[in-house]
Amino acid sequence: MGDWTRGWTRVGQTGPTQHYGRVWEAERELQELTIIESWNDDDSWPGINKPLFNGPDAKRFDTKLAKLEDLGYGAFGRVEKVSYGSVCLARKRIPRRRGFTIDDLRKESLTMQKLDHRHVVKLVATYAPRTHELCLLIWPAAVCNLSTLLEDLEYLRMGEGDREDILERLDALDIKDLSAIEQSSEDQLLHSTTKCPLEFLRNTIGCVARALAYCHQNDVRHLDIKPSNILLKADRVYLADFGVSRDVSGQDQTMTEGVPGTERWRAPEFRRRLRQRQGQPFSHGLGLISVSHQSRGPHHYNDKPSQRDLRMT
């Protein structure tokens, strides 16, 4: 089932940890993966190794999913948090694009099928409730993405945004020490041994780098690395949204045609008709710059990290 028993890819100095919380989270993840695996024996479950569910069967299954909240919208569709039994999943609704069939979209999505890594989301089911729409069920459902976290920290720093909503998200990520973002309060001092944003962001860097390396080792190019495609939970980071990814296994070279991805995060060489895999580290590097910028609080984090701090373990 892959390397799912660990949490963070540690980056930087090791500080106080919440060992039991991570153990509980890891056990819960393994339980959910076991439950999902058991669903494949159910004829009504549209697993990725089965023929595509469509028509009445797909519509019937779609109604069995309880929608919990909207998670976001993107160029390739909208994402909702849903529950099926005791497991929460992300349901991504992808409208059929001009010139593509539903089978084309499903084949593109199944690139994720060959990936099994603790920092990569897992595609568990696909179905087409309507002739113009493909639905993907992805595990796990995250608290938020990295882009949202960076915005939340900036809002707190500037004294803007919905503070209660932001603190609720940070609490779900187990980020309680905000002394580097805001002036310290008595409550923050009580949580002085808990995780701070800098520790969380440092670990995020290592997790994404490890996920990207794993994808390359398995001949998959993500092609759209950006903060909104990095999903976060407490002590967990996942690379997501493989909508424009490519499986390049069996190819002598990894240059492909077209210019997919998001322009803001695209490497300069991507503007050519051909591009190389070196563009992905460029996109990841832009993400690191964003993380580095947000990690520097108004009165903390002025020291530059040492080489040892930035070494993945």
Per DSSP, which regions of the chain are E strands? 53-54, 66-74, 77-84, 87-95, 122-130, 133-139, 144-145, 220-221, 230-233, 236-239, 246-247, 256-257, 274-275
Residue 95 resides in a domain = yes
Residue 187 resides in a domain = no
Q: Three-state DSSP class for 209?
A: helix
Q: Number of structural domains, the chain?
A: 1
Domain extent for 71:
19-139
* pTM, to two decimals: 0.73
Residue 296 resides in a domain = no
Q: Which helix (H) or strand (E) holds 48?
A: none
Q: Give the annotated binding-site residues for ATP.
A: 92
Q: What is the pLDDT along the chain (313 residues), one digit of tens a residue?
A: 444 444 555 444 444 444 445 677 788 899 999 999 999 999 999 999 999 999 999 999 999 999 999 988 766 778 999 999 999 999 999 998 888 899 988 987 887 888 899 999 999 999 999 999 999 999 999 999 999 999 999 999 899 999 999 999 999 999 988 887 776 555 544 544 557 888 898 889 889 989 989 988 988 887 778 888 899 998 899 998 765 444 444 443 333 344 444 555 454 554 554 444 444 454 445 455 555 555 554 444 333 444 333 333 3
Q: Give the annotated binding-site residues.
A: 92
> The CATH number of the domain where 92 resides is what?
3.30.200.20
